[in-house]
Amino acid sequence: MSGFTKADVPDQSGKTFVVTGANTGIGLEITSALAARGARVLLACRDEQKAEAAIGRIRRKAPEADLAFLQLDLADLSSVRNAARLAQKEPRIDALINNAGVQGPKRRHTAQGFELTFGVNHLGCFAFTVLLLPKLAETPGSRIVATSSGLHRNAKIEWDDLDAQQRYQWMPRYAASKLANLLFIFELDRRLRAAGLPVTAVACHPGLAGTHLARDSWWGDIAMSLIGLFFNTPAQGAWGALQAATGPVKPGGYYGPTKFSELRGSSGECTPSADARIPELARRLWDLSVRLTGIEADSLSHT
């Protein structure tokens, strides 16, 4: 059986998706594919000008695309709250695709003072998801998708130094945030099932894809361009998210490229690391996330 690609995305007419980081790279490709299949897509991005430029690019190929900008800065929990409030005005939301992510060689912080990589890639994702959960639960069969990475395999969350006061290393911090994405989805899946909510939580990864994620350094951008030539383009890197959001999946599953040690190729079911499947770590991260963000899913808090 061949894997899942953009060609396998079924008709999405009448459905609404929220895609974070939708104006560039993999997020743009996800949005383009969904819009081409008839979906309404909210581009949840920081920069309105860049989002509108992305909307223009998509509409040049699909003039009837139903697209809208949603102001969202995952580095600021007040922005996350406001974006969730605005998104809840939609008649329905069928899937939230948490695609946005950051990394960089310099230690930076969110508006609330969290180390930026952990703050955006996990805490922002956690907060936005929890705030949108009541709306998603109104549509049976809705999905929550979080984008992880193969780098999660050797990652360790530095529980005693989350803000990187003692040490900041670029890639280990990014890898730890991707482990956090998996722990979050697996704990969310457990809680959704226990609560009997009609929402499916799924994780995905893009393999090794040439994107602009490393745009904070000139050499990183060059490296990503070369990766796109030999492994996955952004369009191919989007296949895992597209399967997670629209294709055949198992609740709590993990999807992405399956070839060449899960680095490239069409999407299918993948294998998370042993650490990502430790329930105690997932519960610890959930409780910590609630405490740090001050945001809790009432319907899931006692499961």
Phi-psi region of 251 (alpha: psi -120 to 50; beta: other; left: phi over 0): beta
One of 168, 174, 254, 255 is an active-site residue; which one? 174
CA distance 245 to 259: 21
- Kindly state the tokens that stand for 293: 């963000």
Q: What is the 3-state secondary structure (H, E, C) of 37-89?
A: CCCEEEEEECCHHHHHHHHHHHHHHCCCCEEEEEECCCCCHHHHHHHHHHHCC
Instruction: Confirm whether 255 is a catalytic residue.
Output: no
Q: What is the CA radius of gyration of the chain?
A: 18
Alpha helices in the chain (DSSP H): 25-36, 48-61, 77-87, 116-118, 125-137, 170-195, 218-230, 234-237, 239-246, 279-293
In single-letter form, the type of residue at position 67 comes to L
CA distance 199 to 142: 5
Look at the block and give the residue holding tokens 């796109």: 228
- Kindly state the tokens that stand for 213: 């994620």
Residues taking part in catalysis: 174
